[in-house]
């Protein structure tokens, strides 16, 4: 087999066989196929697409490029969730402890924030000492002992995805459904969960800007799940405005703690309940009603909050801020921003809010940059809310007055106003349930 023949076959619109895909992925990961051939292949895939079967083969080939965690010895059924990324998305911090508190272990690989989009690991590192750098053995032992683990991607898991993603990033081949779906699902396969709920975000603050694109990606991932014998369902959820009120690492942790204490923002709690319900339903031991009842029970009894403490302690963090959130990192300056006019908020562009948070230091423009855990934005009003001119609409948490003022002008550009009342966008656009097969 020769790499150039496989590139030509895809360039000319033909389907690749399992053997050809395996050959290409193995060859590239082992350094036998050079970057320039992999780049040409990626562009051919980008332009020609891939069938369902090809996408499944690609996912398996990438998953098998490294260690495949076997969770069978740890628990009979482990669940995971994955968000395609958004602004103010601290869902994992709430749903992982709640689902685990219902007796279903959660083993999760999470990512870091990049650009306007936040990352779960950065949020968790608001706890002093918390580490997400767990190797496969520690991932398994934490899962066995605590029933919850949230770790970062390591080089042992799906290394093919790491090298291919880096190349996609610089060859304009990121935005391609089979490549995104196989990239996400290869890591999920390698980390071993039996059931996965995909939270596919749609809107201005998401990777997928239209519902049609989001549904295509969700369907591709659910089909991969079916093809590889994992239970997968997908929730298409709104990211036209930030989720909840807080945007920024420690601020979001605080909102997650409030939510686990049953006093979080209603939209955020509703979102968490939908995701966690589907995680429990994948076990086949719960229908929707039983799942919601169990989750509400775990919330009200405080068992979810205790499980969150377990997670923080198990990964070396100081759990004191869970009882006293004032101990979380805080920015020195709190700068209120007021409404420039009276009316109803018609839009609150999540991407612009995410960019403003990044400029404050909460996120990174390039991989590997340090971040500031204390800074960010707390919204006080959201789409559909009525405000008076001069009423406080948000608070910027910043290191300096200059940074706060820059954020204020970016943030005011995120709003559109209406003189007429309007409905907020739906929180959940669509659900693609596990087929039960």
Please indicate whether residue 429 is annotated as part of the active site.
no
How near is the Cβ of 262 to ligand URA at its closest, in Å?
A: 32
Binding mask 147-176 for ligand URA (x = CB under 6 A): ------------------x--------x--
Helices 159-169, 18-29: axis angle to 10 degrees equals: 80
How near is the Cβ of 84 to ligand URA at its closest, in Å?
A: 6
**325 vs 363, beta carbon nearer ligand URA:** 363
Which of 146, 384, 428, 379 has its CA nearest to residue 272?
Answer: 428
Is 221 one of the binding residues for ligand URA (CB under 6 A)? no
Could you give the strand order of the β-sheet that contains 392-398, starting from the edge strand earlier in sequence? 246-247, 376-379, 392-398, 333-338
Structure tokens at 359: 């400029």
For 253, the 3-state DSSP assignment is helix
**180 vs 273, beta carbon nearer ligand URA:** 180
Closest residue to ligand URA: CB criterion = 183
Pick the catalytic residue from 82, 90, 201, 278: 82
Please indicate whether residue 161 is annotated as part of the active site.
yes
* Cβ atoms of residues 278 and 433 within 8 Å: yes
Compute the radius of gyration of the chain from its Cα atoms: 22
How near is the Cβ of 370 to ligand URA at its closest, in Å?
A: 22
Structure tokens at 15: 């389907």
Question: Which residues in the 275-314 window bind ligand URA by CB under 6 A?
Answer: none
Please pick, from the candidates 183, 283, 315, 395, the single residue that binds ligand URA as defined by CB under 6 A: 183
How near is the Cβ of 164 to ligand URA at its closest, in Å?
A: 9
d(CA 224, CA 178): 10
Which of the stretches 13-21, 178-186, 284-292, 384-392 binds ligand URA when contact is defined by CB under 6 A? Answer: 178-186
Q: Indicate the burial class of 219 (C-beta count within 10 angstroms; 0-12, 13-18, 19 or more).
A: middle
How near is the Cβ of 81 to ligand URA at its closest, in Å?
A: 14
Pick the catalytic residue from 110, 117, 183, 240: 183
Pick the catalytic residue from 10, 57, 60, 187: 187
d(CA 224, CA 180): 12
**149 vs 176, beta carbon nearer ligand URA:** 176
**63 vs 180, beta carbon nearer ligand URA:** 180
Please indicate whether residue 186 is annotated as part of the active site.
no
**59 vs 100, beta carbon nearer ligand URA:** 59
Looking at residue 208, what DSSP letter applies? B
Pick the catalytic residue from 161, 199, 238, 310: 161
Give the binding-site size for ligand URA (rule: CB under 6 A): 6
Question: Which residues in the 388-407 window bind ligand URA by CB under 6 A?
Answer: none
Question: Which residues in the 243-272 window bind ligand URA by CB under 6 A?
Answer: none
Q: Got the DSSP string for 282-327?
A: TTTS--HHHHHHHHHHHHHTTHHHHHHHHHHHHTT---HHHH-GGG
Which of 241, 245, 196 has its CA nearest to residue 223?
Answer: 196
d(CA 312, CA 150): 9
**180 vs 295, beta carbon nearer ligand URA:** 180
Neighbours of 270 (CB within 10 A): 12
Which of the stretches 30-38, 177-185, 358-366, 381-389 binds ligand URA when contact is defined by CB under 6 A? Answer: 177-185
Cα–Cα–Cα angle for 175, 177, 183, nearest 5°?
Answer: 85
Neighbours of 213 (CB within 10 A): 16
Is 180 one of the binding residues for ligand URA (CB under 6 A)? yes
Relative to beta strand 428-432, strand 231-238 is antiparallel
* Cβ atoms of residues 376 and 247 within 8 Å: yes
Please pick, from the candidates 184, 239, 348, 383, the single residue that binds ligand URA as defined by CB under 6 A: 184
Pick the catalytic residue from 112, 168, 188, 254: 168
Residues tagged active-site:
82, 161, 168, 183, 187
- Binding residues for ligand URA, per CB under 6 A? 165, 174, 179-180, 183-184
């Amino acid at each position: 087999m020769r790499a150039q023949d496989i590139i030509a076959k895809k360039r000319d619109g033909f389907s690749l066989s399992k053997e050809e895909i395996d050959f290409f992925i193995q060859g590239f990961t082992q350094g036998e196929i050079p970057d320039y051939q992999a780049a040409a292949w990626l562009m051919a895939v980008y332009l020609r697409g891939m069938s369902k079967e090809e996408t499944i083969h690609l996912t398996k080939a990438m998953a098998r490029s490294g260690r495949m965690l076997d969770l069978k010895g740890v628990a009979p059924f482990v669940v995971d969730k994955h968000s395609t990324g958004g602004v103010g998305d601290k869902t994992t911090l709430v749903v992982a402890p709640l689902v685990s508190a219902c007796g279903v272990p959660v083993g999760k690989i999470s990512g870091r924030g990049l650009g306007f989009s936040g990352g779960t690991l950065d949020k968790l590192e608001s706890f002093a000492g918390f580490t997400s750098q767990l190797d496969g053995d520690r991932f398994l032992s934490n899962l066995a002992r605590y029933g919850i683990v949230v770790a970062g991607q390591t080089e042992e898991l799906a290394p093919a995805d790491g090298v291919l993603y880096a190349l996609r990033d610089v060859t304009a081949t990121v935005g391609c459904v089979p490549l995104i779906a196989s990239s996400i699902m290869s890591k999920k396969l390698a980390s071993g969960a039996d059931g996965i709920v995909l939270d596919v975000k749609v809107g201005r603050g998401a990777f997928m800007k239209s519902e049609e694109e989001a549904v295509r990606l969700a369907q591709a991932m659910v089909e991969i799940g079916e093809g590889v014998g994992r239970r997968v369902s997908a929730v298409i959820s709104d990211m036209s405005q930030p989720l909840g009120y807080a945007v920024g690492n420690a601020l979001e942790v605080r909102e997650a703690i409030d939510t686990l204490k049953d006093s979080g923002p209603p939209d955020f709690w509703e979102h968490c309940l939908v995701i966690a319900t589907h995680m429990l339903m994948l076990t086949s031991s719960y229908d929707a009603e039983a799942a919601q009842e169990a989750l509400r029970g775990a919330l009200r009894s405080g068992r979810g909050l205790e499980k969150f403490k377990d997670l923080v302690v198990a990964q070396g963090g100081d759990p004191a801020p869970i009882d006293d959130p004032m101990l979380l990192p805080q920015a020195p300056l709190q700068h209120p921003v007021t409404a420039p006019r009276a009316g109803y908020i018609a839009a609150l562009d999540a991407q612009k809010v995410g960019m403003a948070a990044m400029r404050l230091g909460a996120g990174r423009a390039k991989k590997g940059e340090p971040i500031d855990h204390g800074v960010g934005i707390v919204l006080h009003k959201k789409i559909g809310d009525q405000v008076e001119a001069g009423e406080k609409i948000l608070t910027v948490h910043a290191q300096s007055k200059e940074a706060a003022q820059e954020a204020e002008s970016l943030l005011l550009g995120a709003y559109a106003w209406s003189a007429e009342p309007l409905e907020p966008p739906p929180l959940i656009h669509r659900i693609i349930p596990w087929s039960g097969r």
